[in-house]
């Protein structure tokens, strides 16, 4: 029986494995995490809207009924294309076909000090750490008598005007209002600043102009300060400096300004495009290596003269395509080139507000918000997760309450850098 190794249990890897299940192949999934993570909802964990477990699903439970599919929790350390072998911390694994779906990581564009000071939203622990941090700052601000220091504690800078930045800024604005109203009478009259910095001249660049303007107006109505044409040049744990010389005293910096291929890309000897993505053939294989496929955020493929974006829908369709492609190769059938069908994009901006551009239909406001809710529930894996998320959303919507306002980790404070502890303990 031929073996297919799939590296990564994100959207691409999981969909490839599902397509290959029951096809008479030995399919081995490799990942350092034992769960599939629904990354689009990480920002809701960070803003106390959802619990961590609601957006993750155990891989072993997911593949339980998938014939021929196995999982091994391990760290991939290298790939030997010549020997057709994947090296891991648990030993080497031979393959007949290889699917590399290792995903991406946050791109700080060489700004090392920013990387040290900033939070991002790529892993489950990142979201929990950011929630702990935000709630801890409110606790500290409630007992801070110095107005200037209190303002810095209650100032939040979000970098990146894409869907993650827009959604996080809106959710944080709603959480802040809730905390002030119900939890922190000591902060009555306090000014909570949320700044959304985008280097381009508008938010949500993939959206039509009308939807971009709606998103900006909606955020500003919620109290978010939108700064377009703003590039972060440097940051510490207590301030953010823009390239125009402005300095913002803030204890929170969320970086959502870009991603780059995961570090595993360096282990693959193949041509690279700008940004480090691996150039693939029209069938998503490597040149000269028809048994090796690279999909998702790692893969660089142009369609209609433009590179396919590093987005979940692209990874999903690539995973499904590669699963079918391997089956066709086993049956000595020709492969058609991969063709991505763009179903559109959407972003939510808080209660009753979202923007959506799908199938040529442009929506804003409540209809787009309902569509956003339905789509995310549909793609979320596991009945329990869908039910928990739906109940949390209903609870929040009807009662104006977020129940996950828990500080679950303590921070070790460096007395020499008051107000800027960064090491998560526990």
Question: How does pLDDT run across 23-42, given as a tens digit for each residue?
Answer: 999 999 999 999 999 999 99
Residue 292's beta-bridge partner residues?
98
Q: Is there a single domain that holds both residue 28 and residue 97?
A: yes
Q: Mapping DSSP to helix (H, G, I), strand (E, B) and coil, where does residue 98 land? A: strand
Q: Which position among 167, 174, 198, 239 bears the catalytic label?
A: 167
Domain residue limits at 369: 112-257+345-425
Say whether 239 is catalytic: no
Give the Cα separation of 251 and 420 in Å (integer): 7
Q: Is the pLDDT of residue 46 over 50?
A: yes
- Rounded Cα gap, residues 426 and 420, in angstroms: 18
Element (H, E) at 130: helix 124-141
Claim to verify: residue 203 and residue 252 sit in the same structural domain: yes
Supply the pLDDT for residue 30.
Answer: 98
Interval 296-308: pLDDT, tens = 999 999 999 999 9
Same domain? For 250 and 265 the reply is no
- Please say if the pLDDT value at position 146 is more than 70: yes
> Quick one: pLDDT at residue 360?
84
CB 132, CB 408: distance < 8 Å:
yes
The domain total for the chain is 2
User: To the nearest whole percent, how much of the chain has pLDDT over 90?
Assistant: 91
Write the CATH number for 238.
3.50.50.100
Cα–Cα distance, 290 to 325 (Å, whole number): 11
Mean of the pLDDT values across residues 395-404? 90
* Gap between the terminal Cα atoms of the chain: 44
Count of other CB atoms within 10 angstroms of residue 253: 25
The CATH number of residue 20's host domain is 3.50.50.60
pLDDT for 414? 40
pLDDT in tens, 322-345: 999 999 999 999 999 999 999 999
pLDDT of the residue at 233: 97
**pLDDT attached to residue 324:** 98
Q: Is 422 a residue whose pLDDT tops 50?
A: no
Contact 217, 224 (CB under 8 A): no
**How much is the pLDDT for 50?**
96
Residues 383 and 264 in one domain: no
Model pLDDT for residues 164-198, shown as the tens digit of each residue: 999 999 999 999 999 998 899 999 989 999 999 99
């Amino acid at each position: 029986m031929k073996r297919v190794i799939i590296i990564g249990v994100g959207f691409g890897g999981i969909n490839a494995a599902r397509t290959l299940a029951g096809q008479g192949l030995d399919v081995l999934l490799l990942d350092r995490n034992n769960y599939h993570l629904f990354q689009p909802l990480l920002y809701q964990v960070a803003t106390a809207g959802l619990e961590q477990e609601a957006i993750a699903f155990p891989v072993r439970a997911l593949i339980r009924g998938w014939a021929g599919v196995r999982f091994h929790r391990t760290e991939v350390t290298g790939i030997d294309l010549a020997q057709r072998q994947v090296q891991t911390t648990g030993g080497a694994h031979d393959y007949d076909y290889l699917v590399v779906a290792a995903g991406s990581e946050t791109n700080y564009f060489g700004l090392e000090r920013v990387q040290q000071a900033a939070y991002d939203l790529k892993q489950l622990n990142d979201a929990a750490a950011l929630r702990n941090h935000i709630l801890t700052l409110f606790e500290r601000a409630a007992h801070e008598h110095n107005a200037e220091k209190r303002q810095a504690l209650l100032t939040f800078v979000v970098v990146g005007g894409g869907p993650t930045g827009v959604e996080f800024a809106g959710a944080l604005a709603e959480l802040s209002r809730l905390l002030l109203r119900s939890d922190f009478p000591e902060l009555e009259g306090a000014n909570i600043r949320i700044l959304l910095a985008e280097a381009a001249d508008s938010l949500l660049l993939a959206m039509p102009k009308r939807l971009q303007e709606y998103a900006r107006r909606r955020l500003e109505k919620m109290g978010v300060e939108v700064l377009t044409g703003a590039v972060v040049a440097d940051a510490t744990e207590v301030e953010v400096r823009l390239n125009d010389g402005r300095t913002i005293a803030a204890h929170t910096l969320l970086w959502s300004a870009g991603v780059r291929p995961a570090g595993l890309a360096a282990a693959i000897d193949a041509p690279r495009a700008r940004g480090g993505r691996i150039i693939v053939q029209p069938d998503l294989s490597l040149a000269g290596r028809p048994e090796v496929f690279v999909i998702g955020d790692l893969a660089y493929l142009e369609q209609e003269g433009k590179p396919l974006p590093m987005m979940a829908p692209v990874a999903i369709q690539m995973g499904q395509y590669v699963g079918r492609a391997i089956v066709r190769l086993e049956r000595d059938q020709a492969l058609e080139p991969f063709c991505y069908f763009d179903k559109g994009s959407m972003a939510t901006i808080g209660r009753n507000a979202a923007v959506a551009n799908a199938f040529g239909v442009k929506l804003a406001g409540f209809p787009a918000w309902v569509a956003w809710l339905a789509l995310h529930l549909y793609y979320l894996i596991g009945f329990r997760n869908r039910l928990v998320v739906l109940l949390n959303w209903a609870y929040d919507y009807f009662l104006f309450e977020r129940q996950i306002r828990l500080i679950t980790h303590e921070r070790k404070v460096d007395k020499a850098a008051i107000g800027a502890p960064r090491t998560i303990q526990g």
